[in-house]
């Protein structure tokens, strides 16, 4: 009698050490679902903790800034910017933190919020953004991150994320997990940027009495991006599209100055 092997279907591939595309797709879907649940759940916990952290505790994260030497070419610009920061922080619109100005020597125009109340600016930014209103908007935007506790939330989410990845994948990094969470974080960061933009513009209006000239930095960024496909870049950027930010802020500026 001739032996006729049974039809094993998909299981034949498994016995041969071959994984079908259906199984792979199912595994990917399961990993995506688990990452989404963990990202949302742990992110929510981290944000809640950050939201209730006392300002006195947050202040312990701050450290003193070293001003530039008077012979430094950026010294006068730094002094002017420090005065603007003091004007902004003298209003009653901000949480009580030890707000401090840091200067970073680099040609790249940029600014950033440092946990504990620090606001950093680069010498390149002070060189390209020269008006009081323009610098005030940059500083107020970073103060908006402090006001909404964005720096703490990002720090908390990063710590929770690293812990979760270590529990799930051990010491070895999982490229798929890294990319999935990184893309989710981009949208989260863009929402924070919009929130800081709006708060910053309102703060400048409150402190200086007008929003005229506040978009100097954004207009400079748009000019330098001329010819680039910014909407394609925005897929991988932590910031909203510059042109959209300008349109939104111009409309808000017009409404604020009418009051």
Question: Residue 33 is inside which H or E element, if any?
Answer: helix 21-51
What pLDDT score does 241 carry? 79
Q: Is residue 79 helix, strand or coil?
A: helix
pTM above 0.95, yes or no: no
When pLDDT is cut at 50, 70 and 90, the band that residue 95 belongs to is very high
pLDDT, tens digit, 9 for 90 and up, residues 135-175? 999 999 999 999 999 888 877 776 766 666 666 666 555 55
What pLDDT score does 232 carry? 44
- When comparing pLDDT for 136 and 19, which is higher? 136
Tokens of 203: 């703060």
Average pLDDT (31-38) is 64
Residue listed under structure tokens 């051990």: 170
- When comparing pLDDT for 152 and 46, which is higher? 152
The span from the CA of 180 to the CA of 158, in Å, is: 14
Instruction: For 136-149, give the secondary structure using H, E and C.
Output: HHHHHHHHHHHHCC
Residue listed under structure tokens 């010819």: 227
163: Cβ contacts below 8 Å, ≥ 6 apart? none
pLDDT, tens digit, 9 for 90 and up, residues 166-192? 666 665 555 545 544 444 454 557 788
Tokens of 10: 């998909």
In the chain, what is the straight-line distance between the N-terminal and C-terminal CA atoms, in Å?
Answer: 97
């Amino acid at each position: 009698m001739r032996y006729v092997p049974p039809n094993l279907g998909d299981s034949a591939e498994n016995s041969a050490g071959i994984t079908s595309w259906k199984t792979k797709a199912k595994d990917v879907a399961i990993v995506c679902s688990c990452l989404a649940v963990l990202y949302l759940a742990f992110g929510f916990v981290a944000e809640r903790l950050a939201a209730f952290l006392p300002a006195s505790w947050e202040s312990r994260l701050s450290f003193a800034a070293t001003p530039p030497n008077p012979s430094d070419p950026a010294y006068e610009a730094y002094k002017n910017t420090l005065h603007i920061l003091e004007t902004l922080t003298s209003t009653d619109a901000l949480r009580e933190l030890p707000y401090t100005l840091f200067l970073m020597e680099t040609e790249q125009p940029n600014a950033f919020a440092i946990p504990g109340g620090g606001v950093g600016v680069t010498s390149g930014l002070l060189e390209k953004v020269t008006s009081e209103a323009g610098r005030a908007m940059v500083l107020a935007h970073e103060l908006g991150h402090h006001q909404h506790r964005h720096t703490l939330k990002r720090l908390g989410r990063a710590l929770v994320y690293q812990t979760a990845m270590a529990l799930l994948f051990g010491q070895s990094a999982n490229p798929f997990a890294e990319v999935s969470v990184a893309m989710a974080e981009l949208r989260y960061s863009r929402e924070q940027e919009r929130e800081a933009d709006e708060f910053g513009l309102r703060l400048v209006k409150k402190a200086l009495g007008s929003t005229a000239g506040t978009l100097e930095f954004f207009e400079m960024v748009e000019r330098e991006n001329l010819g680039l496909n910014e909407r394609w870049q925005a897929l991988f950027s932590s910031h909203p599209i510059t042109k959209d930010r300008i349109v939104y802020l111009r409309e808000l500026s017009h409404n604020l100055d009418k009051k």
